[in-house]
Amino acid sequence: MMQHAQEPELTMEIGNTVAPGRNAPSQAALRAALDAAAAQVETRPDLALAAANEALRAVPGLPPALFVGAQALRRLGRPTEACARLALIPGGLRRPAMVLWEHAQAASAAGRSDEAITVLEALTEAQPGVASGWLLLASELRKAGREEDAWRADLSAVHASSRDPDLLAAATDINDGKLDEAEAKLAARAARLPDDPVGTRMQGEVKWRRGDMTEALRLLERAVALAPGFDLARDFLVRLLMQVNRLPDALVHAEMLAKSPVAGAAADLILSSVLVRLGDQERARTIYERMLAAQPEQPLLWQNLGHVLKTLGEQGGAIEAYRTAVTQQPALGEAWWSLANLKTVKLEAGDIAQMETALAGLEAEAGRDEDVFHLHFSLGKAYEDAGDVARSFEHYDKGNRLRRSLVGYDPDLLAAEAGAAAATFTSAFIAEMGEGGCPAEDPIFIVGLPRSGSTLVEQILSSHSAIEGTMELSEMMVIAARLQSRIDEGEFADFAAMVRSLGPVERLRLGEEYIERTRVHRKTDRRRFTDKMPNNWQHVGLIRLILPNAKIVDARRHPMSCCFSGWKQHFARGQTFTYDLTEIGRYYRDYVRLMAHYDAAAPGAVHRVIYERMVADQEAETRALLAYLGLPFEESCLEFHRNTRAVRTASSEQVRQPIYTDAVEHWKAFAPWLGPLEAALGDVATCYPEVPAELLA
């Protein structure tokens, strides 16, 4: 029997309901016998039934005996007989709550949903604060095809549980950060009420706060299985699934959430977020446009619509959406930055004045850091376009300093991890590991730094008839992080030991996992696809182990140009190394060191595209790139700017134009302020595109 927050109480007196026969036992004896029988219902229902029958022979129609007998019959797998007995208890739908509860469970077990629903509707009307009645009612309504009514019943169950003192106490502990206390309270409650969806969801939240995402997801999935109409739990589940990049699963739950009879704008927004992550920009656009048609005074929605239109290449519509957003909310920093970040748009003097006014108003407010740093980046771009380099750098610098204070990044840790990878993936180690991994030739990894020309390379490749351009995929990083966690948790002493443990079977499984997890991003039948996550340079060795036939393209740009461009670019997420000139210089140097190591350990495994050479002679560089991939040259690759595919990166507008050389040495205008970057790069900058001898050692 399912147990939930509480069960209805039963008060049934033996009294003089039925006149006893001449030789009937006393009321006290009957009460004692039936109390003993009731105590045996769960453990020995056969004995409980025998005692109830004995009481009924002594006092035919005795309600407590009918009730105990019905309880025993249901537990013996005879629910139809249980229903018959319960029907003999007088009072109909006004019988005591426990009788109605038992009748509902018996009718449910007998497959008599209509009867169960009738009884449960009476029970929940009489005791609306008892979650168990609502949950069973929801289950029976679903069996009857009454989905909307079932959803509302689930919501009523959640509402009933929200007043449970045990759950309120646990919620207080969670909010106060007392996770041990909350976990203990919830565990004790789960032992008593294992099928309570609200308690289960709260257990999932505790696990999530502890960083145990696997267990958090399991508990959230169980909570929505117990109560499919538990919208808050499903919303939480969708967000967690997005965090771990289980996007197809997130879509299933987001679409279900959007069907809720009480679904509001929040359900539409989370669905559109999943669709954007999956690359279904058109469907997300439809949702935003529908919502704005109903309520046009929604600056955040206009901003989101602008993001989608930008990705789809509809620059005019994106500009209009962003400008509508800042008109409605002048201090909306992200919308201003999104407008400035359309590299082909120049903000005018009027825009600068509006942003300066908004910034002056924000800097005195607490909790508006995100708007503040977005406005600084936007003003940096606006003054740069206006030719005021000093004021441009001032705003870029302020934006970066504020953003850096809000993110966690350890350059020493990155350097150590890159060093560990270099020390592990020697030519001898690669030979020792031998063959293995998934033989699929589908992926083309484009690695390097952001703003290195990688989007240009991707756009050229995706213009080939055999290659589908996807986006920056996080699947390889998810796999790498999971493997790293095995070291962090003490399973392996170091990186080399962990990698060495990957035998042929596990390498095959990991490679197949990557192929399967990325399948959702593939919208065509082209046999090859790009993964343009730049940070995958850190995982080239792992890629070679688990996907030995995958191709790896290293997009490289002059370090001063690349790093400065990355530093003045605010990224929506990730790339936490870009907000300090010294740190981004160190990052570039660590990248060059590791890639040089791979070049020596596995010559020819990685193909390098030098941005300045691609700009100078696109055809020659494109032919060499396609030759590395084993593909014939196609003229369409030279006309990449005609490609209408969706592009989500900062270069989305630039790659819709023919190659231009304006940005190659743009950094030199800011040279007086770039000393920290130049010092961090050292001879990597002066030797470019060659690698300094020190890094080759």
pLDDT band at 279 (very low <50, low <70, confident <90, very high): confident
Confidence (pLDDT) at 161:
86
Does residue 345 register a pLDDT over 90?
A: no
Sign of CA dihedral 410, 416, 422, 425: negative
Contact 575, 566 (CB under 8 A): yes
- Residue 468: which H helix or E strand, with range? strand 467-469
The pTM of the full predicted model, rounded to 2 decimals, is 0.81
pLDDT-derived band at 1 (thresholds 50, 70, 90) equals very low
CA angle 421, 424, 429 (to 5 degrees): 140
At residue 22, does pLDDT exceed 70?
no
Among residues 7, 58, 53, the alpha carbon closest in space to that of 29 is found at 58
Is the pLDDT at 262 greater than 90? The verdict is: no
582-599 mean pLDDT: 97
Distance CA 603, CA 409 (A): 32
The residue-averaged pLDDT of 365-378 equals 92
Tell me the CATH class for 27-161.
mainly alpha
Structural fold of domain 412-468+524-696 = Rossmann fold (3.40.50)
Residue with tokens 């743009």: 666
Q: Is the pLDDT of residue 261 over 50?
A: yes
Give tens-digit pLDDT for 551-583.
999 999 999 999 999 999 999 788 999 999 999
Q: Classify strands 606-610 and 528-531 as parallel, antiparallel or unpaired.
A: unpaired
DSSP 445: E
> What is the per-residue pLDDT across 413-425, written as a single tens digit (0 to 9) for each?
999 999 999 999 9
CA nearest to 140, candidates 126, 164, 127, 123? 123
Q: Contact 277/243 with Cβ under 8 angstroms?
A: no
Residue located via tokens 């010294």: 582
Mean pLDDT confidence for 216-231: 95
Tokens matching residue 399? 């934006």
What whole-number distance in Å separates Cα of residue 32 and Cα of residue 340? 82
CB burial of residue 603 (10 Å; 0-12, 13-18, 19+): exposed
Three-class SS state of 188: helix
Write down the pLDDT at residue 659.
62
654 pLDDT above the threshold of 70? no
pLDDT exceeds 80 at position 78: yes
Alpha helices for 492-606 (secondary structure H): 495-500, 504-518, 540-546, 559-567, 581-601
| Helix and strand totals (H; E) in the chain | 36, 5
pLDDT of residue 31: 87
- C-alpha to C-alpha distance for 577 and 409, rounded to whole angstroms: 6
- Strands 467-469 and 443-448, sheet pairing: unpaired
Residue 13 has pLDDT above 60, yes or no: no
Q: Which residues contact 219 (CB under 8 A, 6 or more apart)?
A: 200, 201, 203, 204, 207
Tokens, residue 60? 């035919």
The token duo for 88 is 């003999």
CB atoms within 10 A of CB 330: 15
Pair of tokens at residue 42: 């769960």
Handedness of CA 648, 651, 657, 659 (dihedral sign): negative
Q: Give me the chain's average pLDDT, please.
A: 91
Q: What pLDDT is attached to residue 24?
A: 59
Residues of the chain with CATH 3.40.50.300: 412-468+524-696
Q: Is the peptide bond before 165 cis (omega within 30 degrees of 0)?
A: no
> Alpha carbon of 515 to those of 444, 479, 482, 520, 554: distances in Å?
12, 12, 17, 10, 21
- For residues 551 and 458, what is the distance between their CA atoms, to the nearest angstrom? 13
Cα–Cα distance, 373 to 187 (Å, whole number):
43
Sign of the Cα torsion 328, 332, 336, 337 reads negative
- Nearest CA among 512, 516, 510, 521 for reference residue 481: 510
Q: How large is the average pLDDT for residues 236-243?
A: 95
Q: Which residues of 497-534 are buried (b: 16+ CB within 10 A; e: fewer)?
A: ebbeebeeeebbebbbbbbebbebbeeeeeebbbbbbb
394: left (phi over 0), alpha (psi -120 to 50) or beta: alpha
Amino acid at 36: A
Task: Tell me the CA end-to-end span of the chain in Å, nearest whole number.
Answer: 70
Residues of the chain with CATH 1.25.40.10: 27-161
Q: Measure the CA–CA gap between 44 and 46, rounded to whole angstroms.
A: 5
Average pLDDT (295-306) is 96
How does residue 30 score in pLDDT terms, banded at 50, 70 and 90?
confident
The per-residue pLDDT for range 632-651, each reduced to its tens digit, is 999 999 987 776 545 544 44
Identify the pLDDT of residue 612: 94
Distances (CA, A) of 455 to 381, 459, 526: 20, 6, 19
Q: What angle do CA 334, 338, 342 make, to 5 degrees?
A: 165
* Placement of tokens 């929040």 in the chain: 266
Q: Which of 295-299, 476-480, 525-529, 647-651 has the lowest mean pLDDT?
A: 647-651
| Residue 2 banded pLDDT, cuts 50, 70, 90 | very low
CA atoms of 336 and 323, how far apart (whole Å): 8
- What is the mean pLDDT of the segment spanning 232-259? 94
Q: How far is CA 338 from CA 318, 392, 560, in A?
A: 9, 17, 24
